[in-house]
Each structure stands twice: as structure tokens, then as C-alpha cells.
Structure 1
Amino acid sequence: MKFTATLTVAALTAAFATEAAATEWNVSVWGKRRAFTEHIHKLAELVEEKTDGEFTMNISYGGLSNNRENLDGISIGAFEMAQFCAGYHPDKNRAITVLELPFLGVSNLDEEVAVSHAVYEHPAVAEEMAGWNAMLVMTSPMPQYNIVGTGDPRATLDSFDGMRVRATGGLGEAFAAVGAVPTSMTASEVYQAMESGVIDTAAFAQHAHLSFGTINEADWWTANLNPGTVNCPVVANIDAYEALSDAEKEAFDSSVPEAIDHYLANYGELLDRWDSVLEEKGVEKVMISDEELAEFKSVADPIHDQWIEDMGAQGLPARELYDLVNDTLDEQRASN
């Protein structure tokens, strides 16, 4: 009897030890599963596979935090990993807002990954994120934003005057420079604002127009405005990452490039079928003339210069970060 009890205690002890050795991360995102979050799901899948189920991630859509507070949640260790968009709180992540400046000239998702990760690796960026106990894991690359709208198509800068548009960060500044009225709201708030007439138009990447329903309210979509995009990193809590075993860190780190590759392939499929989505929804495809585009792009230089001046005055190596974006674009194109 005593022998049996001893065996039972030993078995329980071993079971608890095994359970304690497992690592479980909570991940805070928002909305619903979509092209924008596929790399997070792929990362979780790969990490679990490489660690034989000993390192798992629970991905929560809105159950852990609201989307404007994910960085705050990371800072206090409320969860181990999260996604956020720089334009939601530019004062908290000033350095990476360089990636949200309008008309940077990024032309595809591969270039977006290259410039984002180059900026993420800059010591000043890592230092600013460390102030939130956050380390940058990977970007969530999005194509150039375009707008959907209701009513008559807006195909000239004159028609933008007074247009109420959902646009954050540098995109909002660009629209304001041509007379539009930008409103900064999270993606989750946009459909209701558009449906109720609070805004006329919304600037999003293709996946978000689908996921958040703005395409269902739209009469038209600008196919070639391409004013810029929003930068939305995935970050991990530094303490949680440092607590990982060497094997878990290896599984995590080695899975990031694979997760990004999966994201790019998946997003490419969405872009390939976008024209059929527009046709199915009855949304008119609007092409902006070269002359109008050139005039719109002319607003970019003063906005870029102002960003460099403002961020430099706050002690950031603003010119260095701005040049890093342009130099990385040149290198990326040369390598192709």
C-alpha cells in the first residue's frame, strides 16, 4: 500500500513538473482572423510544432485588450504578445511613424517588409520600444492604402475638399493638406462611422475593406491613389521572451521569416482576386489621373521635412531613420 502511494506521488510530481515546463503565451489582437493576422497564426503553429506542443499561443481577438491599449498591456505583462498600429498612438511609438509618412515610394509588400524590419532593428527604435517592455517581432505588411467612398466618385484633389475620411498618421496629414477632413479611429469603429454618415470615405488596405465591411457600404474605390500605408508591428513582452528556454527562443526566432513568407503568399492571393471582389460588390474602380497624382504627391515633402524637424527636436535620430527607409528601398530594388 505504501509502495503504491509512493508511486502515485511520484507520478503526480512528474505530471506537475511536465505541466510546469510547458510555456503558454496569450496574444492580443482585434477584429477577426484575416489576412492581417495570418502571420501570427502561422507563427503560433510553427512554434508549437517545433517544440512538440511545449510552447503554445492563445490568440485572442479583443478578449484581452482594446486595440489602442495593446502596447500598454505588453508593458505591464498583461499578455505576452500583441499587434498594434503606430497611428493609433503615435506619441507612444514615435520612431516607427517614419514608416507611415505619405508617399514614401514603397511599391509592394516585399519592400514594405524590408523597410519595416530595417527600421525595427535600429537601436533608437529598439530603445523606444524597450520603454514599453516590448521587443519588435515582425511587421504586418500592408499594401498602399486606397479609399472607398459613398456617393459620387472623388477623382480630383478639388473633390477631396471637405471630404470626411478615416485616415491615421501621415496619411491623415496628406489628406488634410488637400482640404479633406481626416478622422483617426480604429479599424473596428470605421464601418459604423461610414454607415451612419459620420465619414464619407475610409482609407484602408484591401483586407481591411473586406474584414471591416467598408466595401459593403462603398460605391467606388480608388485603384491608384496609393498615398502610403499604416505600420502595424507584432511585439513581445521582453521579460516573457527572456524567460524562454534556448530551444524555445530558437523555435520562435526561426519561425518569424516563415510566418512572414506565409503572410505574403496569403495576401498575394487576396490581391489577385481583388478586381473580382469589386465586381461582385458592384463597386466602381476609380483611376486618378497622373496630373492629379503628381499634385497630391507634392504635399509629401513638407510633411516629411516637418516630421524630421519635430522628431529631431524630441531627441530621435529622425534624419537617420528617414534616410534608412530610402537607403533600404534602394538596396531592396538593387537586389531584385
Structure 2
Amino acid sequence: MQKFLSQTAVVALTVAFAGEAMAAEWNVSLWGKRRAFTEHVEKLAELVDQKTNGEFTLNISYGGLSKNRENLDGIEIGAFEMAQFCAGYHRDKNPSITVLELPFLGVTSLEQEVALSMAVYQHPAVVADLGRWNATLLMPSPLPQYNIVGVGDVPATLDDFQGLTVRATGGIGAAMETIGAVPTSMSATEVRQAMDSGVIKAASFAPHAHMSFGTIENGTWWTANLNPGTLNCPVVVNTDALNDLSDEHRAVLLESVPEALDYYIYNYNNKTMDAWGPALDERGITQVTFSEDEITAFKDAAAAPAAQAWIEENTARGLPAQELYDMVTGMIASGS
């Protein structure tokens, strides 16, 4: 009997340790607070937990693990297993994906933004670029075209942007320079304080961020149709952590990405955009619409020079920049 019990105990302990070994727990570094921009990560965490009966969990932290501009560095050293960042925050660290931040590309929907991003993320040169940080691109955080909320005098024409200090990163910042604005690169969490203190007079964001980070609380005007571009903000995973997952857990994670993105897009197109107009109206924010001729002139001045400069700079880095640009613009032209 004693021998039988000891054998049973050994079996029970073996099963217990095997179960523990199979469990996976990842830390995920985001910033700010839960908002439309993070809903796909929240959904992904929900899906992997459900599909693995709690054996694979994503512990999401909003700012508790890293500063947003340091998330890629944290991924490199394995400080956490998953993170979100925006390419424009540190263009030198991820030059290949900044092709998606060029101004006036002509992207018309979040669905198209996802298709473009996933195609770029799978390009061998992009895989190698992010591989320098031990990072594997998992999914984008598709954003609509940015527009600007500002304080002070309402701009009547694009000439009124001359000398205006505006938070604008990446290709949007380059575009704003062509109309005389003074772009300033800062992370989303710094913007409200910068506007309140007068460091900047305006900020470019997607609608959800204008609401989440409070620019509409003291803003007086908003550009309804400037649409200079958007940021590309991927979710990445530590490559070693991804490889260390069991085949089952890795499959669940990767197979859940499309569903998480579908949820994100539905939430953004319906809940976020439904709230945006009323949020502006409630605060009496003036909506500025520029003439078609002005927008065309803005695009002509900004798009081609920015694209050419990006191609030259990144060809010199050793990237197939022309190939990446042609792939993106070709997909857009074909309606992909």
C-alpha cells in the first residue's frame, strides 16, 4: 500500500509539473490607458486565454513595464514578451516600416491599412530590420488619417500654419513643414501638458487619441479634411519567446490575430467614430474644412519630395527602399 501510494504521488507530481511547464504567461507593455488603439491587444489576450483554457495568458500593463519610446528596447532584451510602439517614435530603429508613414499615400480605410501593413511586415527586409531587436511583427494597430486639434486663432487657410508649433511625427511632420508649420516629435502621453503649457499650439492625432489624451478639452479648432497621413504602430513579440511557446500556444496566438484585428476595426469604425462628432460638438470646437485646391497643392508639395527623400535615405541604409515603396503604392493603386 505504501509503495502504491508513493508511486501515485510521483505520478501526480509529474502531471502537475508537466501542466506547469505547458502554461505560458507573457507580459505586454502598452501605454496610456485602455482605448480604441489597444482593443486588438485586449481582444487577443481574451482569445488566447479562452482557447487555451487559461494555460496561455497575456498580462497587459499600461506604462508599468516601460516608457512607450523604449518598448522596442525592452523587447530586445526580453524584459517583456509583447509590446506596442509607433514607428515614428524612433525612425532609426525601424526604418523599413516607416514607408507606411509617408504623407498622402492615399489609404482610405482601416481594412486597407491592415492589408498594407501585413504585406510590409512579411517582406524579408522588414523581417530582418526588426530582427535586429529580436522582434517579430505580429499585427498593426490600424489608424485613420490624422487631423489636427489646435488652440488659439482658427486657421482660415493653410497659410495660417506658418510658424505654428504642432505635435507631428514621421511623415506627417515632414508634410507640415512644407506649409511652414514647426513640427515637434513627442509621445502621446506628453501632448496634453505641452499644449497646456504653450510648448505646442496644435497636435496631430487620430480621433481616438484626441479624445483619450485630452487635446479636445482645451482645443478650439479641428482640421476636418487635412488628412496628411497616419502613423504605423505595430504590436511585436520577442522572437525567442515566440519560438519557446508550445506549438499549440503559438498556433493559438497567430490564428487569433485576424479575429483581434476584426474586433479592433469594428470597435473603431463604430464606437470611436460615432463618439467623435458629438465630442467636438459638445465642446464647441470649430471644424475647419480647406478647399480642394489647397489640399491638392499641399499634397503636391509634400508627397513626392518626402517619398523621394525616404527612398534615397533608406537605400543608403541598405534597404530595398524603392521596392518597399513600389509595393505599398502599387497595392493602394490596385485597391488592395
2:325 is matched with 322
Conserved? CA contact 1:114–1:332, under 8 Å: no
1:320 CA displacement: 0.5
1:289 is matched with 291
1:29 is matched with 30
1:181-214 CA-partner distances (Å, limit 9, x unpaired): 1000000000000011110000000000011111
1:197-250 CA-partner distances (Å, limit 9, x unpaired): 110000000000011111111111111100000000000111111111111111
1:107 is matched with 108
1:155 CA displacement: 3.5
**Is 1:313 the equivalent of 2:319?**
no
1:12 CA displacement: 4.3
2:120 is matched with 119
1:97-129 CA-partner distances (Å, limit 9, x unpaired): 111111111111111111111111111000101
**Is 1:298 the equivalent of 2:294?**
no
Q: Which runs of 5+ in 2 are unaligned?
A: none
Distance in 2 (alpha carbons) for counterparts of 1:154 and 1:295: 17
Structure 1: 4+ residue segments shifted above 6 A: none
Conserved? CA contact 1:67–1:84, under 8 Å: yes
**Is 1:67 the equivalent of 2:63?**
no
Conserved? CA contact 1:138–1:234, under 8 Å: yes
Question: What is the percent sequence identity of the aligned residues?
Answer: 62
1:60-103 CA-partner distances (Å, limit 9, x unpaired): 10111100110011011111110000000000000111111111
1:7 CA displacement: 4.9
1:149 is matched with 150
TM-score w.r.t. the length of structure 1 is 0.96
TM-score w.r.t. the length of structure 2 is 0.96
1:13 CA displacement: 4.5
Task: Provide the secondary structure at the position in 2 that maps to 1:298.
Answer: helix
Conserved? CA contact 2:22–2:246, under 8 Å: no
**Aligned amino acid, residue 298 of structure 2:** F
2:226 is matched with 225
Conserved? CA contact 1:191–1:213, under 8 Å: yes
Conserved? CA contact 2:102–2:171, under 8 Å: yes
Query: Over aligned residue pairs, what C-alpha RMSD do you find?
Result: 1.4
Conserved? CA contact 1:118–1:328, under 8 Å: no
2:179 is matched with 178
Distance in 2 (alpha carbons) for counterparts of 1:41 and 1:265: 14
Distance in 2 (alpha carbons) for counterparts of 1:2 and 1:199: 77
Task: Provide the secondary structure at the position in 2 that maps to 1:273.
Answer: helix
